[in-house]
């Protein structure tokens, strides 16, 4: 599984530079930044931090980052230590293709019992350091930021990171985070021994019928969705595999954009009249959505 993942993510390095994307250095970390569009709100722009997948990189999901920026969000994505594509690949010394085959997670993905709040704690530190910098002044990179409207999104191991910071690992909880988007999230350790019940922030899980490695852990009885505090959403895309949330696949990008933007518009921007989530969470679900669950209380 790991070999397949890192080999596929190699292709992410060839994706064209996204519109509005810049790279900055924050506390020694390479951070991809997408500036928001539209007039500056009186309180500043809401901000979303994105955490990439295992051996991915901060530009692995540019389609979604662009959609969020165009919707009026400041979007920031750090490269974690395990990053192996995009700018991380270019900056790595003595890089060669076979090097990725030696990449190993800190603990095996199939041994969730070995995971704890010490596993990938460096990823949590990356996000906290970035938020400290973003919220340390009246503006960041010339952009006014609303400190009360901060959220996090993550794919795969980035979903693990996002959930942990939302409180699934209580010792990681960052109270600045007001909502979490977990896409094809690795969450088995939290189902086994985490604290999903007390995150107490809105969460949207996204999965796919062909994402057989992690989506079933979210969907099953007493899985991550069942255990999570409300408000909570689970949307499953028909036919989507694990890499549907990266630049590699285009078939599901419009749906991923629609659900993600609507979720943040509702919970970060407070849009309720009309509710942007309403047409996406009704019965029957939209075409292309195979399964949908919602609990707002």
C-alpha triplet 168, 242, 25: angle, nearest 5°: 65
Residue 193, both tokens: 């021994």
pLDDT in tens, the chain (297 residues): 444 444 444 444 444 345 689 999 999 999 999 999 999 999 999 999 999 999 999 999 999 999 999 999 999 999 999 998 877 766 555 544 444 445 799 999 999 999 999 999 999 999 999 999 999 998 999 999 999 999 999 999 999 999 999 999 999 999 999 999 999 999 999 999 999 999 999 999 999 999 999 999 999 999 999 999 999 999 999 999 999 999 998 999 999 999 999 999 999 999 999 999 999 999 999 999 999 999 999
Domains with residue ranges and CATH for the chain: 18-80+106-295 (3.40.50.1820)
Q: In 3D, which of 261, 120, 236, 142 has the Cα closest to residue 183?
A: 236
189 vs 209: CA distance, rounded Å: 21
Q: In 3D, which of 191, 199, 277 has the Cα closest to residue 235?
A: 277
The 3 state secondary structure assigned to 26-50 is ECCEEEEEECCCCCCCCCCEEEEEE
295 vs 217: CA distance, rounded Å: 18
Structural contact between residues 267 and 179, judged by C-beta atoms closer than 8 angstroms: yes
């Amino acid at each position: 599984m790991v070999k397949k993942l890192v080999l596929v993510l190699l292709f992410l390095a060839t994706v064209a530079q996204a519109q509005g994307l810049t790279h900055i250095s924050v506390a020694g970390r390479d951070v991809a930044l997408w500036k928001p569009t539209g007039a500056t709100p009186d309180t500043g722009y809401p901000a979303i931090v994105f955490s990439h997948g295992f051996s991915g990189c901060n530009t692995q999901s540019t389609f979604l980052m662009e959609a969020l920026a165009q919707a009026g969000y400041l979007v920031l994505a750090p490269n974690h230590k395990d990053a192996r594509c995009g700018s991380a690949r270019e900056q790595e010394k003595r890089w060669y293709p076979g090097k990725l085959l030696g990449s190993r997670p800190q603990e095996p993905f199939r041994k969730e019992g070995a995971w704890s709040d010490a596993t990938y704690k460096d990823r949590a530190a990356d996000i906290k350091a970035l938020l400290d910098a973003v919220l340390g002044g009246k503006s960041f990179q010339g952009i006014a930021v609303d400190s009360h409207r901060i959220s996090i999104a993550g794919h795969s191991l980035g979903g693990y990171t996002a959930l942990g910071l939302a409180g699934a690992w209580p010792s990681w909880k960052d109270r600045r985070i007001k909502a979490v988007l977990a896409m094809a999230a690795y969450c088995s350790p939290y189902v086994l021994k985490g604290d999903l019940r007390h995150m107490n922030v809105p969460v949207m899980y996204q999965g796919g019928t062909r994402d057989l490695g992690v989506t079933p852990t979210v969907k099953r009885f007493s899985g991550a969705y069942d255990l999570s505090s409300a408000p909570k959403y689970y949307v499953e895309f028909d036919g989507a595999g694990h890499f549907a949330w990266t630049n590699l696949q285009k078939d599901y990008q419009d749906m991923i954009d629609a659900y993600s933007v609507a979720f943040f518009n509702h919970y970060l921007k407070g849009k309720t009249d009309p509710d942007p989530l309403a047409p996406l969470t009704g019965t029957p679900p939209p075409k292309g959505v195979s399964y949908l669950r919602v609990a707002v209380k």
